[in-house]
C-alpha cells in the first residue's frame, strides 16, 4: 500500500472509515462481520482507521478497540469528540457540545471504549457555534499536553475557522466530505490545508455509495439510513443524478476500473495531501476500494470526469435544510 502523511507520520494512502460497521446506513452488520472487515483491512496494509464517539453511540469505538488494540503500534487510530450521545429521560440523543469540560469527558470515554492509552488523531467532530473555536481547540491542546492525544484535527470547518484554530494549536488534519459530487472543499479549505501543512481526510469519497455505480433503491432504505432524508437521493433529484450516473459508469469502463475505483483514484490525483477514507461492510468492496491506490487516470479521463460530475451537474443539496446549522458556512 502506498503511503501519505498525517502529522508527519506515514499512513496508508487510503484509510478505512469505520462508521458503517456500527451505524449510518441501515441495519449494521454483526460484530463478527465488522471484525472480518477490520482484519481484512489490516491484512491489505491499511494503517489509518477512523471512528468517533458518535458512531453507534459508542459501539463503533468499542468494536474498533477490541479488534485493533493488538495492532496498536502499527496503525493510526483516529476518533472524534464534541458530538456524542447524551442520556435523556426518553433515551440517548446526539448532542453537539464543544465546551472544554465536554471535550475532556468525550476523550476519556473514547479512551475507555478503545482500550487505548492515547488517541493518535483526535478531531472536533463539529464546531459548536455556542463555543469559540479557540476554547474547544484549547481543551484539545490540553489533551495533547496530558499525553492522551497525539495530534488534533477538525471536521466540517471552513478555511477561516481552520486558521483560527491553527493559531491556538497546530491542526494536523481536516476531515470533511469530498468526492466528485461534493466539491465544497475546493472553495478554500483544500488550499488552506496545503498552506498550513494539514492533511485533508475525505469522508464519503464514493458519494455515500452513489458513485459505486449500482442504482440505490431509496424506497427500500430503512429510516435509519442517512440517505433516506438526503435531497440528492430523493425524487426528481435522484432521477437527474441517475441519468448522470450512466455516463459516469461508461467512463469507468473505458478506464478499465470500477466506478468506486474511479472516484477514489480521482481523489488521490487531486493533491498529495488528500487521504480518502471509504467505509464498507464488505470485504470484497474493501479490497476493490484499496486497489484504487494503484490506478492512474489519464488527463483525458480526468477531463471527462470533471465535465460529467461537478457542482453544476449534481442535483440536490448535501443535507436537508434542518442540518445546515451543524456545518460551517463554506463546507455546506
How far apart, in Å, are the Cα atoms of 166 and each of 9, 52, 143, 235?
A: 19, 22, 16, 41
CB 221 within 8 A of CB 228: yes
Biggest alpha carbon–alpha carbon distance for the chain: 58
Annotated catalytic residue: which of 25, 55, 122, 178?
A: 55
Tell me the residue length of the chain. Answer: 332
At 174 the three-state DSSP class reads: strand
Environment class of 268 (CB within 10 Å of its CB; exposed 0-12, middle 13-18, buried 19+) = buried
C-alpha cell at 192: 488552506
DSSP character at residue 185: G
How far apart, in Å, are the Cα atoms of 55 and each of 50, 58, 241?
A: 10, 6, 28
Question: Does residue 55 carry a catalytic annotation?
Answer: yes
In 10 A of CB 133, how many CB atoms? 23
How far apart, in Å, are the Cα atoms of 260 and each of 253, 290, 324?
A: 11, 10, 28
CA distance 223 to 18: 20
Catalytic residues: 55
Amino acid at each position: 500500500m502506498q503511503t501519505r502523511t498525517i502529522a508527519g507520520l506515514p499512513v496508508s494512502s487510503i484509510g478505512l472509515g469505520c462508521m458503517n460497521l456500527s451505524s449510518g446506513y441501515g441495519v449494521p452488520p454483526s460484530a463478527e462481520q465488522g471484525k472480518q472487515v477490520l482484519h481484512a483491512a489490516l491484512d491489505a496494509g491499511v494503517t489509518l482507521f477512523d471512528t468517533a464517539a458518535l458512531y453507534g453511540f459508542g459501539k463503533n469505538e468499542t468494536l474498533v478497540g477490541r479488534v485493533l488494540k493488538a495492532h496498536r503500534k502499527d496503525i493510526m487510530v483516529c476518533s472524534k469528540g464534541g458530538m456524542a450521545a447524551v442520556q435523556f429521560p426518553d433515551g440517548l440523543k446526539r448532542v453537539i457540545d464543544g465546551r472544554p469540560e465536554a471535550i475532556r469527558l468525550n476523550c476519556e470515554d473514547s479512551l475507555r471504549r478503545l482500550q487505548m492509552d492515547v488517541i493518535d488523531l483526535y478531531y472536533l467532530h463539529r464546531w459548536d457555534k455556542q463555543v469559540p473555536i479557540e476554547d474547544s481547540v484549547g481543551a484539545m491542546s490540553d489533551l495533547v499536553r496530558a499525553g492522551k492525544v497525539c495530534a488534533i484535527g477538525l471536521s466540517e470547518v471552513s478555511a477561516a475557522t481552520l486558521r483560527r484554530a491553527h493559531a491556538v494549536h497546530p491542526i494536523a488534519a481536516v476531515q470533511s466530505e469530498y468526492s466528485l459530487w461534493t466539491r465544497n472543499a475546493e472553495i478554500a479549505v483544500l488550499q488552506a490545508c496545503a498552506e498550513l501543512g494539514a492533511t485533508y481526510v475525505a469522508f464519503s469519497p464514493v458519494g455515500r455509495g452513489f458513485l459505486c455505480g449500482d442504482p440505490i433503491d431509496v424506497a427500500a432504505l430503512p429510516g435509519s439510513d442517512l440517505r433516506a432524508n438526503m435531497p440528492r437521493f430523493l425524487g426528481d433529484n435522484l432521477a437527474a443524478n441517475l441519468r448522470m450516473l450512466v455516463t459516469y459508469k461508461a467512463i469507468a469502463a473505458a478506464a478499465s476500473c470500477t466506478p468506486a475505483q474511479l472516484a477514489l483514484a480521482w481523489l488521490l490525483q487531486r493533491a498529495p495531501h488528500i487521504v480518502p477514507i471509504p467505509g464498507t461492510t464488505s470485504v470484497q468492496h474493501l479490497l476493490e476500494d484499496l486497489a484504487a491506490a494503484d490506478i492512474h487516470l489519464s488527463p483525458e479521463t480526468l477531463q471527462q470526469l470533471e465535465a460529467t460530475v461537478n457542482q453544476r451537474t449534481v442535483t440536490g443539496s448535501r443535507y436537508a435544510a434542518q442540518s445546515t446549522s451543524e456545518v460551517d458556512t463554506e463546507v455546506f
